[in-house]
Structure formats: C-alpha cells, structure tokens
Structure 1
C-alpha cells in the first residue's frame, strides 16, 4: 500500500471536514465510508465523533454526520 498524499493526512482531513461551513454552523455533512476507512480509520473517526458529541449514521456507503448535540428524530 502506498502512503497517502500529505493533503490526505488523517488530522488534516478531519480539520478540513470540521472547517466546512455546514460543520461550523452545526449543520449536517456527509462523507464516503470508504474515504473515512482509508484516510482516518473507522475507530479514530468514531472516537472523534464521540468526543465532539456528534451523531453519525451510515447509509448507502455514506456517513451522515450531525455536527451538533441536538436530538435526532426519525420522521418516516
């Protein structure tokens, strides 16, 4: 396996993700599961989401991340 380019360093990637406007405003973002697994690793990703108190759901190869600590309610 080859090393990831510098811009895909796990810490930089997470920083970039949480620097997005949606994340900064407490919104919802999504990331491909394969990217998270390849760049950050699922365990490190889950640990960071728990540390921040964010809710994360997986669907159709995507992680849907609620960048706030509000309750999530399924409507349908």
Structure 2
C-alpha cells in the first residue's frame, strides 16, 4: 500500500470547498484526524469562521454547514 502524498492546506480547502455539496451551500463532513493532520484545527477553524460557516464536532467528525444560515439544535 502506497503512502498518501502530503496535502497542503490550500489543496485541502480547494478539494473540500469544490465538492458539489459545498458549492450548493449544503453540509459536508470530514474526519477530525484528517483535518488536524493536513491543515491543523486552528487553521481549519479560522478558515471556516472567515467564510461564515458553522461547524460542529461529533464522534470524530467535523460537520460543516457550507452557508451562513443559523444552525438550530432541535433535540
């Protein structure tokens, strides 16, 4: 099994934000360990905040709301 090539933060964000769901303002999720490995939590949070996106963390996943609409927890 070949090792994955290193990914720069720019490549990571380009791939994340070019997904169909992200382009449509929907929801995407990414594994917390992957985000921390490739861009770091601080850079990730800063970029999401800059874009006005909400992010929640649960069970090792970041759930990213790719729009600036408010998020309401129902239950």
> Is this a same-fold pair by TM over 0.5?
yes
1:28-43 equivalences in 2 (<5 Å)? 28-43=27-42
RMSD, aligned CA: 1.1
Q: Deviations for 1:23-68, whole angstroms, at most 9, x for unmatched residues? A: 0000000000000000001110000001000000000000000000
Report the TM-score, using the length of structure 1 for normalisation. Answer: 0.90
Q: What is the number of residues matched between the two proteins? A: 72
Q: Larger % of helix: which?
A: 1
Report the TM-score, using the length of structure 2 for normalisation. Answer: 0.91
Mapped to 2, the partners of 1:9 and 1:74 lie a distance apart of 33
Kindly state the Cα deviation for residue 16 of structure 1 after the two structures are TM-superposed: 0.5
Mapped to 1, the partners of 2:32 and 2:50 lie a distance apart of 19
Structure 2 gap ranges (5+): none
Q: Secondary structure at the match of 1:48?
A: helix
Structure 1 gap ranges (5+): none
The aligned residue for residue 62 of structure 1 is: 61
